[in-house]
């Protein structure tokens, strides 16, 4: 490989020549670029083993249950607070997870739980902070579409009235909480990632985030539609396995058992309803951001696209970096892993360049 062809929105194209190339276009576009390069290799560059575009993974996530604490138990006691800060003031989210021994014994996929605020439309929380957030977001949504604003506000009038009542009743006593939330979220050099639930509640919504089993039938392929550059668009074929679903259900069950045995509380859900909710939440898998695994990294070329140095198998000077090379998704947001992979590849390229 000695050059790549790039084209801009005006239809102008040029060739870029280099000794080595690094493709870093994300979990979807990286696969698409390699698949559409079928003028170079019949089934796409790096698709020698038919793994290019396969093993597509995201993160299963959702908020399907609530945690009901025992009287006198607070989230601070039960979960050692919802968030903390490191020595640089960076907000660190507290998460609940299982030990490696528990995972192995119960055949659990990597899964975490964390406390979240109630859905914005809910009013049962009687929190001035959450109702204020709902009203502010409703107003912003109306201002963004002024022609439909009256119709939109009319459809939301029942919720607006309910949240306004909560805000009026609770506002005086909630001023310190609202002040801390505004300062933490919008003011200062370090901002909170979200409006978090306060201490002192007896019921908290519980969100989970879990990995998926690497599945060759979950994949991205080229469709018939083309974009403005004449490149075929991707068709995404997500798949959820029975193990994915069972692991999420088991994790909820084990957390419920642990809360009850420790005398801290319980999860509020019906077993049948939880199963139905998990199945529904996985029918249309789309994390919106965490697109992983489409150019996965194995040592054996028969099971993936790039080697441990992120070099495409069979191409001496083409490298791929990003979430697409991750062979498994884990439970966590992949940003730090992607940065680490990029730094590692940079060091590898620098060291091998110096050796030439």
Domains in the chain, ordered, with CATH? 3-58+287-355 (3.50.50.60), 61-210 (no CATH)
pLDDT at 217: 96
pLDDT value, residue 202: 81
Give the burial class of 343: count Cβ atoms within 10 A of its Cβ; 0-12 exposed, 13-18 middle, 19 or more buried.
Answer: exposed
Which of helix, strand or coil describes residue 86? coil
pTM for this prediction: 0.81
Measure the CA–CA gap between 29 and 44, rounded to whole angstroms. 13
With a cut of 70, say whether residue 70 has pLDDT above it: yes
At what angle are helices 271-281 and 242-261 packed, to 10 degrees?
A: 140
Cα–Cα distances (Å) from 173 to 81, 198, 199, in that order, read 22, 13, 14
- Phi, psi (degrees; rounded to nearest 5) at 223: -95, -170
The pLDDT of residue 55: 96
- Give the whole-angstrom CA distance, residue 339 versus residue 322: 8
Q: Is the pLDDT of residue 58 over 80?
A: yes
The whole-number pLDDT of residue 186 equals 65
- 61, 63, 69, 73 alpha-carbon torsion, rounded to 10°: 60
Least confident of 5-19, 38-52, 126-140: 126-140
Residue 145: DSSP 8-state: S
Q: Kindly tell me if the per-residue pLDDT of 185 is higher than 80.
A: no
Q: DSSP letter at 88? A: T
Residue 248 or 90, more confident: 248
Is residue 320 classed exposed, middle or buried when 0-12, 13-18 and 19+ CB atoms within 10 A define those classes? Answer: buried
Task: Give 334's DSSP letter.
Answer: S
Q: What is the pLDDT of residue 166?
A: 80
Write down the residue that tokens 């509020």 correspond to: 268
Output the pLDDT for position 115: 84
- Residue scoring higher pLDDT (260 or 82): 260
Residue 311, class by beta-carbon neighbours within 10 Å (0-12 exposed, 13-18 middle, 19+ buried)?
A: buried
- pLDDT mean across residues, the chain: 85
Residue 224 has pLDDT above 60, yes or no: yes
Q: If you average pLDDT over residues 312-327, what whole number do you get? A: 95
**Cα 98 from Cα 110, distance rounded (Å):** 8
Query: What's the token pair of residue 354?
Result: 């110096």
Task: Find the range with the poorest average confidence among 82-91, 319-328, 329-338.
Answer: 82-91
Half-sphere exposure of 309 (CA within 13 A, CB side): 16
**Helix, strand, coil % over all residues of the chain, rounded to 5:** 40, 20, 40
Q: What is the pLDDT of residues 150-161, one digit of tens each?
A: 887 888 888 888
Of 218, 211, 13, the residue nearest 112 (C-alpha): 211
Cα angle vertex 5, ends 292, 325, to 5°? 15
Q: For the chain, give the percent of residues with pLDDT over 90.
A: 48
Contact present, 31 and 294 (Cβ < 8 Å): yes
DSSP class per residue in 173-194 = HHHHHHHHHHHHHHSSSS--SS
| Contacts with 14 (C-beta within 8 Å, 6 or more apart), sequence order | 5, 6
CA–CA distance from 33 to each of 3, 115, 231 (Å)?
14, 39, 9
Q: What count of Cα atoms within 13 Å lies in the side-chain half-sphere of residue 71? A: 0
Q: By CB neighbour count within 10 A (0-12 exposed, 13-18 middle, 19+ buried), where does 63 fall?
A: middle
C-alpha–C-alpha distance, residues 218 and 55, integer Å: 5
In angstroms, the CA 22 to CA 310 distance is: 9
Within its chain, how far is the Cα of 228 from the centroid? 29
In whole angstroms, give the CA distance from residue 313 to residue 34.
13
């Amino acid at each position: 490989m000695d050059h790549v062809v790039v084209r801009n929105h005006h239809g102008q194209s040029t060739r870029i020549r280099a000794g080595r190339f690094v493709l870093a276009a994300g979990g979807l576009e990286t696969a698409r670029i390699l698949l559409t390069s079928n003028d170079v290799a019949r089934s796409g560059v790096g698709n020698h083993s038919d793994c290019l575009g396969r093993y597509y993974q995201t993160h299963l996530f959702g908020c399907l249950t609530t945690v009901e604490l025992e009287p006198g138990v607070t989230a601070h006691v039960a979960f050692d607070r919802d968030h903390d800060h490191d020595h640089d003031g960076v907000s660190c989210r507290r998460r609940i997870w299982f030990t490696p021994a528990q995972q192995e014994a119960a055949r659990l996929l990597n899964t975490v739980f964390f406390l979240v605020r109630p859905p914005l439309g809910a009013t049962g929380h009687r929190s001035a902070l959450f109702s204020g957030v709902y009203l502010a977001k409703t107003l912003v949504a109306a201002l963004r579409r002024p022609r439909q604003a009256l119709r939109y506000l009319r459809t939301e009038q029942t919720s607006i009235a309910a949240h306004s009542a909560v805000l009026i009743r609770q506002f005086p006593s909630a001023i310190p909480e609202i002040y801390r939330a505004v300062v933490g979220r919008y003011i200062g050099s370090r901002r909170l990632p979200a409006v978090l639930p306060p201490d002192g509640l007896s019921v908290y919504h519980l969100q989970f985030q879990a990995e998926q089993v690497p599945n060759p039938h979950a994949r991205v392929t080229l469709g018939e539609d083309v974009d403005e550059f004449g490149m075929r668009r991707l068709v995404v074929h997500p798949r959820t396995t029975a193990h994915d679903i069972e692991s999420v259900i088991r994790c909820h069950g084990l957390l419920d058992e642990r809360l009850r045995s420790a005398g801290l509380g319980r999860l509020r859900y019906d077993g049948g309803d939880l199963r139905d909710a998990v199945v529904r939440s996985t029918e249309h898998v789309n994390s919106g951001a965490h697109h992983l695994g489409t150019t996965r990294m194995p040592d054996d070329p028969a099971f993936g696209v790039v080697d441990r140095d992120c070099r495409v198998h069979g191409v001496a000077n083409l490298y791929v970096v990003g979430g697409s090379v991750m062979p498994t998704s884990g439970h966590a947001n992949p940003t730090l892993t992607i940065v680490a992979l990029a730094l590692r590849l940079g060091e590898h390229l620098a060291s091998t360049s110096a050796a030439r």
